[in-house]
Structure 1
Amino acid sequence: MSELIQDQPEHPRLHGNLGTAAIVLMVVAAAAPLTSLGANVPLMIALGQGVGAPVGFLVAGAVFILFAAGFVAMTQYVNKAGAFYAYVERGLGRRAGIGSALVAYAAYMATMLGVYGFLGAVLSTLINDFGGPSLPWWVLSFVVMGICGLLGYRHIELSAKVLGIFLISEIAIVVILDAVIFVRGGTEGVTFDSFTAAGIGSGFGVAVLFALFGFVGVEATAIFRDEAKDPQRTIKRATYWAVGIIAVFYAVSSWALIEGNGGSAAVAVATDDPDNFTINTAGAFLGMVGKDITQVLLVVSLFAAALSFHNISARYKFVLAQQGVFARSWGVAHPKHQAPSRASLVVSIFSAAVIGTFAVLQLDPLLEIFGPMGGIGITGLAGLWLLTSLAVTVFFARQGGISGTTLIAGMAVVALSASLILILVNLPVIVGGTVLLAGLMGAVPLMFFIVGVLVSTPRAATSLDYADALDS
């Protein structure tokens, strides 16, 4: 334990009393369960040309179990909040750590901005469908942004309570839909075609790619370390619970949606109308009221994701401010709320400026905002998953040679390398544009990593302990 990173008391600390359940709620909320089922599952079926979506989620879950094993094993040696960057710093050096922190910040910010655009468009349609006025998407994006900013400014437990209510609501409607489908059965009854070689389909790699989206944010358990009670046990439990819940929930629910649309016939249904695949299934099995509730909760799911990404982005800005990458005044915790309130406010202002620019340029919120921003986000996060597992492998190899943890982390490196390659090859599909646009979006995380390495000056190394930053 002599290798534990020591506290530096000059940094003001974040505080909280989050338990395992609260942290799991925030992480799973970031994964946006209903949104993934409504947006990703139809694409997994249509582009994957098969009904193997449940297997895709299980494969992705297995990859993240390998990731989580090394991640939580190293937690005791990186006794600080901070998720990616602290682990990368311990295993691969301070420069790589700062580079990874900037990549994480950029990835979460990009994903959040994409969700703001998507949510504004979906909310505009919902209001119009229910007889309300026709409002521009960006007006509603600003409203959502303001609410997220207000909640992010205050104590983290307020966000946890809001997310808990929203998450329970969206999971409840999905569980009810799953149960009704399995009890009634689809046109072919209930089959196990999704778990056969024939059902997996020729584009299974694409299905796994979209399944990976469902696990975005699982590593964020560690970023709430200083706001958790008994963090050593809480973070470990929360990480495993989050991965397990996401994998099983998505696998079972995607299987139910496939069965509800006629098993093998679901490929044609998803291809014909992917946008309404899940909503129409809810209407068929839960009636018009159930369909309307599902449509409303889809918006709730997107809001929960936006709030989660705002909180994570604010905490990365907070740590980077304390490292001198951003203005140090942004790295001060609120004396009453004990939250990164200044960083949260800056994130809100920056988000408003970017969304405002998108609105002036008249960009399409789905095709020209959500897609490209999502491309930046998933590429950056996939690279960080890989870097983190590589850091864990190197760290434990240095500690005691080849151990069980080293082997598992090494397996995660191989699996995550394959995942990153899969993402890069299919980035034009994710971005929804040209190969050139996909290449530019994919290069953004690399540019942020390089900037992080360049700004990690020798002077900063002597004045600050990088891995201690999120203790503020």
Structure 2
Amino acid sequence: MSNHIDESGGVLAPGESADAHPHRKLRGSLGVWGIVFVVVAAASPLGVIGGPVPLGIASGNGVGFPAIFIISTVIVLLFAVGFTALTPHVPNAGAFYSYIGKGLGKVTGFGFAFVALISYLALEIGVYGLLGQGAQALFASYGLPDIHWGVYALIALAVVSLLGHRNIDLSRNVLGVLLIGEVAIVLALDAVVAVTGGHEGLSTGFLNPSEIVSGAPGIALLFAFLSFIGFEATAVFRDEARDPLRTIPRATFLALILIGVFYTVSTWALITAWGDSQVVAQAADDPTGLLPGATEQYLGTAGLHIVQVLFVTSLFACILSFHNVVARYVFTLSNRNVFPASLGEAHRNHASPHLASGLDGIVVLVFIVGGILLGLDPVTQFYTWLAGISTVGIIILLIATSVAVLAFFAARRRAGDTSESPWRAFVAPGIGLIGLAGVFVLVLQNLPDLVGGSTPVAIGAVVLLVVVFALGAGIAAKRSQVTLE
């Protein structure tokens, strides 16, 4: 029996593209910088400098930590070489699952589609806990009533849902403004520290091999790599890019280079601000105070207040970015006959995935309300538990995508197609895969610590990802109408 879509919404016929149905097609005018804004905002630069960086300094390799960011940047750039080489062969906005499906088959691809969806959704929900606590502390510092973190989280959810309902261009503009603000304040701190010479002179630890391998460089690599999560979402916005075949690769490399340089320089400046002899002890004693303390010392009280405000807006930008990613995963999977077809309808005026976005908002609402009623700590429980799921899931997705790239081009090579260079098809993604595998081992070894010291939660995170992979693969295997394109 053939399947079709009518104006009331139906399912796509096997192999039929959504392009033939405008009401099932997203539209936007995202250029290279528009996608860069969305992706870099998801990485939350200010949040990284204020969070994972102090932890990497304290628990990792101390003053050699900036060098670890350079290594991490190289690993993700090698991954991106293969990722972008496969982009011309993936004509839809399914991102990871489409890439994996191209190389490893439909069933495997849809298994990882569910892993991706759960991973991004978990991170989006978890960051609401960080935002809620950050906003609570911010307003309390100005003498305002101490309101429960959940109230701020619900307010943020309402704004995110409104923006998610509209065209992606509006989110791009909001993210652009917020991103410029948070990057500007950190760069101002970097510049002042570099000019004044810091507390003990400019740090040289990242140039010293003995410092780079000191302490626990493996833990340092873990925290550095986790700071890049979000960059891989460039391909999700394919349908809303002006020229996908050129825009997606350029945006991917540009975002990675900007993020890598920013993290490396800003980490070096933060170490210099405190001094090589003091920064490790300070980061261990008060990791959350490392950035605010340096900001107040070098930029004054006004700078401190700006950082406090922008830290909250940085988390909001992160949430908005991942909300857009989750909505587009649901939208695309609905047009691939996995979820109800109605969720694959684009808004007639905004050309946005408004129904998928609304469903995302409802799921987030349930979790926030649940966290409030259960009395969960917004950071040590609500955020860390969900972020642990996301961390494992996204690294698995990167590894699977690398394997898919190698498998795809190996098959083409066997068929006599040698048009793609060995560097892009095999060498770069192969080296990147080795690096990603190393990071994955570190994540598994330290997963209990990443989820608040709970081994049961760590085991539960892995089991959940296995279950959702099996669910997605099972649906693809049983439904003949499920298609990759």
Which TM bucket (shorter chain)?
over 0.9
What's the secondary structure of 1:465's corresponding residue? coil
Residues 384-463 of structure 1: pairs in structure 2 closer than 5 A: 384-400=397-413, 403-404=422-423, 405-458=425-478, 460-461=479-480, 463=481
Aligned-partner residue type, residue 452 of structure 2 = G
In structure 1, what is the equivalent of residue 98 of structure 2?
Answer: 86
Residues 202-213 of structure 1: pairs in structure 2 closer than 5 A: 202-213=215-226
Identity %: 42
In structure 1, what is the equivalent of residue 483 of structure 2?
Answer: 465
- What is the alpha-carbon distance in structure 2 between the residues aligned to residue 63 and residue 247 of structure 1? 11
C-alpha displacement at 1:199, in angstroms? Answer: 2.0
In structure 1, what is the equivalent of residue 43 of structure 2?
Answer: 31
Q: Is the 8 A contact 1:380 1:445 kept in 2?
A: yes
- What is the alpha-carbon distance in structure 2 between the residues aligned to residue 373 and residue 27 of structure 1? 20
C-alpha displacement at 1:323, in angstroms? Answer: 2.9
- Of 158, 163, 168, which aligns to 1:146? 158
Aligned residues: 461
What's the secondary structure of 1:263's corresponding residue? coil
- Of 205, 215, 223, which aligns to 1:193? 205
- What is the alpha-carbon distance in structure 2 between the residues aligned to residue 363 and residue 406 of structure 1? 46
TM-score (norm 2): 0.93
What's the secondary structure of 2:301's corresponding residue? helix
In structure 1, what is the equivalent of residue 117 of structure 2?
Answer: 105
In structure 2, what is the equivalent of residue 114 of structure 1?
Answer: 126
What's the secondary structure of 2:30's corresponding residue? coil
- What is the alpha-carbon distance in structure 2 between the residues aligned to residue 326 and residue 362 of structure 1? 33
Q: Is the 8 A contact 1:51 1:267 kept in 2?
A: yes
Report Cα offsets for 1:342-400 as digits up to 9, x if no partner: 00001001100111011100000001111111100110000000000100010001111
C-alpha displacement at 1:443, in angstroms? Answer: 2.6
- What is the alpha-carbon distance in structure 2 between the residues aligned to residue 211 and residue 352 of structure 1? 31
What's the secondary structure of 2:202's corresponding residue? coil
> Structure 1 pair 325/264, CA: closer, same or farther in 2 (3 Å)?
farther
1:354 aligns with 2:367: yes
Aligned-partner residue type, residue 174 of structure 2 = V
Q: Is the 8 A contact 2:110 2:476 kept in 1?
A: yes
Q: Is the 8 A contact 2:476 2:482 kept in 1?
A: no
- What is the alpha-carbon distance in structure 2 between the residues aligned to residue 300 and residue 83 of structure 1? 27
Q: Is the 8 A contact 2:18 2:25 kept in 1?
A: no
Report Cα offsets for 1:251-279 as digits up to 9, x if no partner: 00000000101123210110111011111
Q: Is the 8 A contact 2:403 2:433 kept in 1?
A: yes
- What is the alpha-carbon distance in structure 2 between the residues aligned to residue 206 and residue 435 of structure 1? 18
Moved more, 444-453 or 100-109: 444-453
In structure 2, what is the equivalent of residue 166 of structure 1?
Answer: 178
C-alpha displacement at 1:193, in angstroms? Answer: 1.3
Residues 67-78 of structure 1: pairs in structure 2 closer than 5 A: 67-78=79-90
1:304 aligns with 2:317: yes
What's the secondary structure of 1:229's corresponding residue? coil
- What is the alpha-carbon distance in structure 1 between the residues aligned to residue 384 and residue 261 of structure 2? 26
Residues 238-249 of structure 1: pairs in structure 2 closer than 5 A: 238-249=251-262
Q: Is the 8 A contact 1:424 1:442 kept in 2?
A: no
- What is the alpha-carbon distance in structure 2 between the residues aligned to residue 20 and residue 10 of structure 1? 26
Aligned-partner residue type, residue 214 of structure 1 = S
Moved more, 30-39 or 310-319: 310-319
- What is the alpha-carbon distance in structure 2 between the residues aligned to residue 185 and residue 53 of structure 1? 19
Q: Is the 8 A contact 1:53 1:194 kept in 2?
A: yes
In structure 1, what is the equivalent of residue 78 of structure 2?
Answer: 66
Aligned-partner residue type, residue 352 of structure 1 = L
Aligned-partner residue type, residue 103 of structure 2 = G
- Of 171, 174, 189, which aligns to 1:177? 189
In structure 1, what is the equivalent of residue 240 of structure 2?
Answer: 227
Aligned-partner residue type, residue 275 of structure 1 = T
In structure 2, what is the equivalent of residue 17 of structure 1?
Answer: 29
Aligned-CA RMSD value:
1.4
C-alpha displacement at 1:231, in angstroms? Answer: 1.0
Aligned-partner residue type, residue 260 of structure 1 = A
C-alpha displacement at 1:290, in angstroms? Answer: 0.4
What's the secondary structure of 1:131's corresponding residue? coil
In structure 2, what is the equivalent of residue 271 of structure 1?
Answer: 284
1:313 aligns with 2:326: yes
C-alpha displacement at 1:49, in angstroms? Answer: 4.4
1:251 aligns with 2:264: yes
Q: Is the 8 A contact 1:54 1:195 kept in 2?
A: no
Report Cα offsets for 1:8-55 as digits up to 9, x if no partner: 545421111100000001000000000000001000011114212211
Moved more, 430-439 or 278-287: 430-439
C-alpha displacement at 1:6, in angstroms? Answer: 7.7
- Of 350, 362, 369, which aligns to 2:382? 369
1:281 aligns with 2:294: yes
- What is the alpha-carbon distance in structure 1 between the residues aligned to residue 225 and residue 255 of structure 2? 14
- Structure 1 unaligned blocks of 5 or more: none
> Structure 1 pair 437/465, CA: closer, same or farther in 2 (3 Å)?
closer
Q: Is the 8 A contact 1:124 1:137 kept in 2?
A: yes
In structure 1, what is the equivalent of residue 3 of structure 2?
Answer: none
Q: Is the 8 A contact 1:310 1:344 kept in 2?
A: yes
- What is the alpha-carbon distance in structure 2 between the residues aligned to residue 400 and residue 408 of structure 1? 16
- Structure 2 unaligned blocks of 5 or more: 1-14
- What is the alpha-carbon distance in structure 1 between the residues aligned to residue 290 and residue 44 of structure 2? 17
1:237 aligns with 2:250: yes
C-alpha displacement at 1:464, in angstroms? Answer: 4.0
- What is the alpha-carbon distance in structure 1 between the residues aligned to residue 483 and residue 20 of structure 2? 11
Aligned-partner residue type, residue 413 of structure 2 = G
Q: Is the 8 A contact 1:393 1:406 kept in 2?
A: yes
1:133 aligns with 2:145: yes
C-alpha displacement at 1:181, in angstroms? Answer: 0.3
- What is the alpha-carbon distance in structure 1 between the residues aligned to residue 44 and residue 462 of structure 2? 23
- What is the alpha-carbon distance in structure 1 between the residues aligned to residue 431 and residue 69 of structure 2? 18
- What is the alpha-carbon distance in structure 2 between the residues aligned to residue 408 and residue 187 of structure 1? 40
